[in-house]
């Protein structure tokens, strides 16, 4: 945008724009912000959404100027994990939507209300909730079932040609639902414990998807299916590397929206 550098230039600009400077400024096209749905699976890495990943997704979406609405299925969790012990809390039961509301600061809706008409893209953060509450992958592996609403959302966005972002373990959802999709969960060998969940890559191939090896700071873009994935906490590494990889995923999702 031009800046006035003296009375003469300001006068010239007023004469050039029939409505004055205000008309000159408003003549530039204004782009509508991308509307992005974020689907959560509870609250806490071992039985819900990985909180660091969800926060990273939200920060990068905010930085990218996106409008965000969060959703979660209104269903019971598979189980509750005491995160201080890493063990099941046998006497407890929790609801995925209610727990996800903790991350969303209360601003959340049932996944049943999510439609492609209201959003330009959808993103699924990771955490074991994606494999326990959004699907049965944690128990059934390649023979898993995907939550009915999750499957509907994935198929609807894919059919509409709208981008889908997934990180950590959640790419298995796309691998199961979208035949032939390309995804990444990082490396295919554990490499001394750096990639402790490397076996997931094999399961992704058994599901009929293509696995692409990527570093934790990278994202893989399946341009045909508009599916963008990044390894996140599938890798044992410093938090800022996870943050950067999720940033790459979000950036590519927003780019694919064309907003």
- pTM, 2 dp: 0.88
- Looking at the chain, the whole-number percentage of residues with pLDDT higher than 90 is 86
Q: What is the mean pLDDT of residues 177-201?
A: 97
Q: Quick check: 174 pLDDT over 70?
A: yes
Q: Three-state SS for 123?
A: strand
User: What pLDDT score does 253 carry?
Assistant: 98
**Nearest 5 degrees, angle CA 69-CA 75-CA 76?**
125
Residue 129 CB contacts under 8 Å (≥ 6 apart), including other chains = 40, 41, 42, 44, 47, 48, 49, 77, 96
Domains, the chain, ordered by start: 35-257 (3.40.50.880)
Two structure tokens written together for 36:
């992005």
Q: Which residues of 153-168 are buried (b: 16+ CB within 10 A; e: fewer)?
A: bbebbbeeebbbbbbb
- Going by C-beta distance under 8 Å and a sequence separation of 6 or more, which residues neighbour residue 235? 186, 187, 194, 195, 216, 241, 242
Contacts of 20 (CB under 8 A, 6+ apart): 14
Annotation says 168 is catalytic: yes
1-60 residue pLDDT tens: 444 445 555 555 455 544 444 444 444 555 789 999 999 999 999 999 999 999 999 999
* Catalytic choice (43, 168, 212, 235): 168
Q: In the beta sheet, which residues pair with residue 42?
A: none
* Residue 251's pLDDT band (cuts 50, 70, 90): very high
The rounded distance, in Å, linking the Cα atoms of 233 and 214 is 13
Q: Please name the helix (run of DSSP H) or strand (run of DSSP E) that holds residue 257, with its range, or none.
A: helix 239-257
């Amino acid at each position: 945008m031009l800046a006035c550098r003296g009375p003469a230039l300001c006068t010239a600009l007023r004469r050039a724009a029939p409505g004055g400077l205000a008309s000159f400024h408003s003549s530039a096209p204004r782009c509508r912000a991308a509307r992005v749905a974020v689907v959560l699976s509870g609250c806490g890495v071992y039985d819900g959404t990985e909180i660091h990943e969800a926060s990273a997704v939200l920060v990068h979406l905010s930085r990218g100027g996106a409008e965000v609405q969060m959703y979660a299925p209104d269903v019971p969790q598979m189980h509750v994990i005491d995160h201080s012990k890493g063990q099941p809390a046998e006497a407890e039961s929790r609801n995925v939507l209610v727990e996800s509301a903790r991350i969303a600061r209360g601003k959340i809706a049932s996944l049943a209300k999510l439609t492609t008409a209201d959003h330009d893209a959808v993103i699924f953060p990771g955490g074991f909730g994606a494999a326990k509450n959004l699907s049965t992958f944690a128990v059934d592996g390649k023979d898993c079932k995907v939550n009915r609403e999750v499957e509907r959302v994935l198929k609807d966005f894919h059919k509409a040609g709208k981008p889908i972002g997934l990180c950590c373990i959640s790419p298995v959802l796309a691998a199961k639902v979208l035949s032939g999709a390309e995804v990444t969960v990082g490396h295919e060998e554990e490499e001394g414990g750096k990639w402790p969940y490397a076996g997931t890559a094999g399961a992704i191939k058994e599901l009929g998807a293509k696995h692409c090896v990527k570093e934790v700071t990278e994202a893989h873009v399946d341009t045909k299916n508009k599916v963008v994935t990044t390894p996140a906490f599938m890798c044992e590494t410093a938090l800022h590397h996870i943050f950067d990889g999720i940033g790459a995923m979000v950036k590519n999702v927003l780019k694919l929206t064309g907003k």
